Structures are given as structure tokens and as C-alpha cells.
Structure 1
Amino acid sequence: MWNGVLCGLLAGAMWGMVFIVPELLAAFSPLELAVGRYVAYGVIALGLMAPRLSGLLRRLERSDCSALLRHALSGNIVYYMFVALGVKLAGVAPTSLIVGVLPISVTLMGRKDHGALPLRQLALPLLVAAAGIACINIDVFAHTQSTGGQLGRTIVGLLCATGALLCWSWYTLDNARYLKRHHHFSSAEWSALYGLATGLIALLIGAVAFAIWHQDVTGAAGAASGRDWTRFWICNSLLALGASVIGNHLWNVASRRVPVTLSGQLILFETLFALLYGFIYKQQFPRPLEIAAIVLLVAGVLWSVHAHAQEEKAVSPA
């Protein structure tokens, strides 16, 4: 189980980057960001699996294609569009902390899965995590009002973050359950197929969007407006490699080695790393309520991990 926990932590470190790229590429729309990231993901996945592509495709079953389609949309494209829009409207911290509700939503939704602990054993860790989330939301609205920010814009951003939360909650459960039932692909193979499927869907969406609406400036004028396409592809390629290729592979390993309720807790590492990267990017220290939120979230995760470890030790043969 501990190898799964470590893989979940490292996946969170990779995924935390997804909240910073929309800040770096603020001149681009959420649709452009999603298409750019996942086309790059598809190209990298194709390069990695090219020598074995024909063999992998022959092993694909109809259920695999259905799973890849729904996971590509819910766990990647639609999710990231919501995240990007949430970051643009509400900021990195509130968006990442709304998505940080995942441990609670996934735990509650997966409470009947095999290996899940009874909710009474997770009640206190979940309450600690919920207290951390409450701290950051109080801080967000207090800061928005004190700086004269647009409350309506913040609310829409938080609604987008909630949409991302719902997408990822469903994807996390469905992906974990599917991987536990199907073992004809390794974690690396499934991640590569997942990337290829996402890249193809993103390419199709991008082609349709380009055909319907295309208005852009290039060269020096484009760079001056912030729409620097060289920077766009560099950032999205690095994000695709780190968060999508490496991060998703680590998460697939973790999903197979830990109970669903614990995998929900491990997602919180994404939130913590997103906050860390955000503070570094803005070159500022967290405010008191943000510090309290981080401490409470870490405590909740560690408490949950300990509860699962104790349960595993109790049920394992002597």
C-alpha cells in the first residue's frame, strides 16, 4: 500500500502544475489551453507507444474504447477547461481548494467499494479536511471583498471549479473501478492509450473550433498581446509530459494499490502542490487562514492514511 501512497503523492506534485499554466498563458481561452495540452499529450503518447501500437490496438475491447472515451472527456478535456476558467476568474488558490474537496466527494461516493473503510472510521479525518477547505473559502471571500474584487466573477469561477470537482470525482471512481476489474493492460500501457485517445479527441475538437471560429494575431503583435504561440506550445508540452504522461501513469499505479477511499484522500496532494506553486509564482507567503488550511488538509490526509494502514494490518494474515 505504501508504494501506492508514494505514487499518489508524486502524481499530485505533477498535477499541481495544471493550476499554474492558465496563469502563464492568460491570453489564451480555456478551450485553447485544453486542446493544446491534450494534443501535445497525444503526440507524446503516440511516440512512446509507436513500437507497440499495433499490438496494443489489437488487444483493445469495446469496453476499453468506451472507458477511454469517457475518461478522456471527464478526466482530461472538460475537467481542464473548467480548471482553466476557474483560475482565470477566481484565481489559483480558490480553484485548487474547491477541487481539493475531492477527498470528501470520492470517499463518500466510493464508500461501498471493496476495501473501503466504514465512514465512522473516516469521519474525523474528513472533518479535519473539511475544516481546512472552510478556512480557504472564508479567506477567499474575505480577500475578494477587501480588495474590491468582482464578487460575481469570483462566484462564476468557483462554479467552474465545482464543475471540475464533479468531473474528476466521477472520473476517479470510474477509472479506479475499471482498472481493478481489467488487467489486460499494464498501468503504463493504459496511460499511453489514454493519452492517445485524449489527443485524438482534442485534435477533433480543435479542428472543429478552428473551422467555426478563427481570429488571431501572430508574430510581434501576437507576442505583445500575450498570445505567444511558442510559449504556448512549450508550456503545454511540458505540462503534457509532466502532469499527463508521468502523473497519470503514477496515478494508475496508485489506483491499483490502494482502496478507493484512500485514493480520494491522496488527491489532496494535488491541491497542496498547486498552492505551493501558486505562492512561488506570485512570490508571496500564504495568509494565516491559508496556512491553517494547509495544516488541516495535511493532517486529514495523514490521519486517513494511518487509518487505512491500521485496517490493512488488522485484516492481513499473521
Structure 2
Amino acid sequence: MHNPAEHHNLGKGIACGVGAGALWGLVFLAPELIRSFTPQEMACGRYVLYGLFAVAMVAPRWGVLSHTINLRTWWTLNWLSFAGNTAYYILLSSAVKNGGITTTTLVIGFLPVLVTLVGSRDKDALPLRKLLPSLMLCMTGAACIGWQAMHTHTHTTARAPLFGLLCAVAALGSWTLYAVGNSRALARQRHFSAHDWNLLTGLATGAQSVALLPLALLLDSTQHGLDQWRNFALVSAGVALLASITGNALWNRMNQLLPLTLVGQMILFETLFSLCYGFIWEQRLPTGTETLAFGCVVISVLLCVSAHRKPAGPA
């Protein structure tokens, strides 16, 4: 018969993935609120505050956690922080700036496919043939989003298309490395809760951002007023608390509940919610192409979930 515990974990894991996507989607609104600042400054502002929040939240439990952290753990946390936060955000910003939003959207749209393909090689993973319908719909949705971006932003001129494409591919590889590495690290480090692992990641990310902050400030020649700096601090704090602290904790918990082949599909919800927030911001309804992309994303995830449901055995 069906195992109720497995169904409970599947539902709870998917709920955590949807919640993480809803909070991560808010990140795409931040540049609209603080347009006068560079992507490097936005990244440093978000991640420095992520680190400060993590310090405050981990301090009461540091006496217990410190005994379970060794040099290998710190090494893992640092390379995951670099791949999934610091490097990814810088590469993504450079891709959009040099190659345009169309190329970047199309390349990054293959994140779920790549993570699922890597996850299909894990022990006891579903055969790839069972995931093909979901993967095909996922790629169709990504193509629809890219097509819409191309027609919406025809006025945008790419500064260095080849360099932008290389940055987008590097960003794709960087976050795929993080998604796979983080999932497997959580499987090994089961003595850490999803929340504690997120806070420790925040410590590593914050330290990296503090080191990069002088360079980010040096590269920005714009003079900002007091009101602009206040808005920058408020937006950075909001993104750090909602997307990095809460969103990442939900993502880590999801990693503990779902197989990597299904984790890859959950990345689609970030794109889905970011588009919804964009419609609200622009005060418009989705176009036909965007609606088709929505449908592909939803059906893709449903097919993947269905494929992961274990068939009923003999009573």
C-alpha cells in the first residue's frame, strides 16, 4: 500500500519549495526600487545584511553548533556560498548588462533541466525516461519566457553579446553546482537543521560580501543622497530577511524532504512568482505567451510530482 509518511514528506517538501520560490521571486523587484545602485552594491547590501541577521540568530545556539563544525564543514559552506550567492549574482548581473535579458533568461531557464539531469544519476533516482515529459514542458516554458522577453525588450542593445552569453552559461553552471552540492551536503550533515545550515551559510556569505564591499563602492561613481541610502538599506534588509533567511531555510528543508530530480523542478517557482510580481508592478495582465509559459511550468511540476509517486504495492 501507499506509505502515508512518504506522501506527507512529498506534500510538505513541495510546499516548502513553493514558499521558497515565492520569497526568492521578490528579489527581482529590488532593482526597480533602488535603480541608482549597481548590481555589485545590491549584492553586497543583501548579503552583508544576510550575514548580520545570521550572526544575531545563530549567537544563542553558537555554543552547541560550534562543537559540530569542523574545517571541512566551513570549506563546504564557503564554496556553496560563493557558488550559490556571491558568484551567481555577479555573473547573472554581468550577463544581463552585457548580453541582454533575452539571452540570460533563455540560458537560466534551463536550470531545472540541468539539476534534474544531474539528479537522475543518483542512486535510486527515477529513470530519465519517466522525467522526459516534465523536462520537455520545462524547456517549452523557458522558451516561452525567453520569446516574450525578446519581444518586450527589443529596444535593449547588448553591449558584448558573446561575453554576456559566457556569463549566463557560467551563472547556470554556478547555481547548478550549488543546488546539487547543497542537496548532497544536507544529506551528509543531518545533525544540522535546515535553519541552522542556512544561518551558517549566511555567516560565510556575509564574510565574502564584506571582503567585496570596498570594490563594489569603488566601481560606483554615482553620488547618492541620504534618502537613497536609506531606501537602499531598507530594501536590502527586506530582501535579506525574506529571501535569504526565510526563503533559503525553506529551500534547505525542501532538500531534506525531496529527491534531487524533484528539487530541480521546484526552481521553476522562482521564475513563476517573479513574473507574477512583475505583472503586479507593471499593473498589467499576462500575454498569451506568458500564459502558455505559466501553464507549461505548472503542468511540468505536476508531471514530475506524479512520476515520483510510488505505485501501490500488495496489501
Task: Tell me by how many angstroms 1:279 deviates.
Answer: 1.4
Task: Tell me by how many angstroms 1:99 deviates.
Answer: 2.7
Please give the per-residue CA displacement for 1:239-259, whole angstroms capped at 9, x wherever unaligned. Answer: 000110001111111001110
Task: Tell me by how many angstroms 1:24 deviates.
Answer: 2.1
Q: Counterpart in 2 of 1:41?
A: 50
Q: Is the 8 A contact 1:30 1:82 kept in 2?
A: no
- Cα distance in 1 for partners of 2:133, 2:91 equals 30
Is structure 2 residue 173 aligned with structure 1 residue 166? yes
Q: Which amino acid is 1:279 matched to? A: F
Q: Which runs of 5+ in 2 are unaligned?
A: 1-9
- Cα distance in 2 for partners of 1:279, 1:162 equals 27
Q: Counterpart in 1 of 2:146?
A: 137
Of the candidates 38, 42, 46, which is equivalent to residue 29 of structure 1? 38
- Cα distance in 2 for partners of 1:123, 1:155 equals 30
Is structure 2 residue 232 aligned with structure 1 residue 232? yes
SS of equivalent residue, structure 2 residue 284: coil
Is structure 2 residue 28 aligned with structure 1 residue 19? yes
SS of equivalent residue, structure 1 residue 109: helix
Q: Counterpart in 1 of 2:223?
A: 217
Q: Is the 8 A contact 2:24 2:247 kept in 1?
A: yes
- Cα distance in 1 for partners of 2:234, 2:93 equals 17
Q: Is the 8 A contact 1:115 1:259 kept in 2?
A: no
TM-score (norm 2): 0.88
Task: Tell me by how many angstroms 1:142 deviates.
Answer: 3.5
Q: Counterpart in 2 of 1:179?
A: 186
Task: Tell me by how many angstroms 1:139 deviates.
Answer: 2.6
TM-score (norm 1): 0.87
- Cα distance in 2 for partners of 1:155, 1:5 equals 37
- Cα distance in 1 for partners of 2:150, 2:222 equals 35
- Cα distance in 1 for partners of 2:174, 2:279 equals 26
- Cα distance in 2 for partners of 1:175, 1:219 equals 39
SS of equivalent residue, structure 1 residue 3: helix
- Cα distance in 2 for partners of 1:215, 1:134 equals 37
Identity over aligned pairs, percent: 40
Q: Counterpart in 2 of 1:266?
A: 266
Task: Tell me by how many angstroms 1:57 deviates.
Answer: 2.3
Q: Which amino acid is 1:12 matched to? A: G
Task: Tell me by how many angstroms 1:157 deviates.
Answer: 5.5
- Cα distance in 1 for partners of 2:219, 2:22 equals 36
The 3 A distance-change label for structure 1 pair 263 and 4 is same
Q: Is the 8 A contact 1:107 1:264 kept in 2?
A: yes
- Cα distance in 2 for partners of 1:275, 1:94 equals 17
SS of equivalent residue, structure 1 residue 193: helix
Q: Which amino acid is 1:107 matched to? A: T
Task: Tell me by how many angstroms 1:284 deviates.
Answer: 2.2
Q: Is the 8 A contact 1:136 1:293 kept in 2?
A: yes
Of the candidates 2, 8, 18, which is equivalent to residue 17 of structure 2? 8
Q: Which amino acid is 1:271 matched to? A: T
Please give the per-residue CA displacement for 1:140-172, whole angstroms capped at 9, x wherever unaligned. Answer: 333444xx4325577766654443322111100
Task: Tell me by how many angstroms 1:208 deviates.
Answer: 5.1
Q: Is the 8 A contact 1:11 1:270 kept in 2?
A: yes
SS of equivalent residue, structure 2 residue 264: helix
The 3 A distance-change label for structure 1 pair 97 and 9 is farther
- What is the CA RMSD across the aligned residues, in angstroms? 2.4
Task: Tell me by how many angstroms 1:45 deviates.
Answer: 0.8
Superposed, 1:113-152 pairs within 5 Å as 113-145=122-154, 148-152=155-159
SS of equivalent residue, structure 2 residue 22: helix
- Cα distance in 2 for partners of 1:119, 1:244 equals 32
Q: Is the 8 A contact 1:19 1:84 kept in 2?
A: no
Q: Counterpart in 1 of 2:6?
A: none
Q: Which amino acid is 1:38 matched to? A: Y
Task: Tell me by how many angstroms 1:215 deviates.
Answer: 4.3
The 3 A distance-change label for structure 1 pair 236 and 194 is same
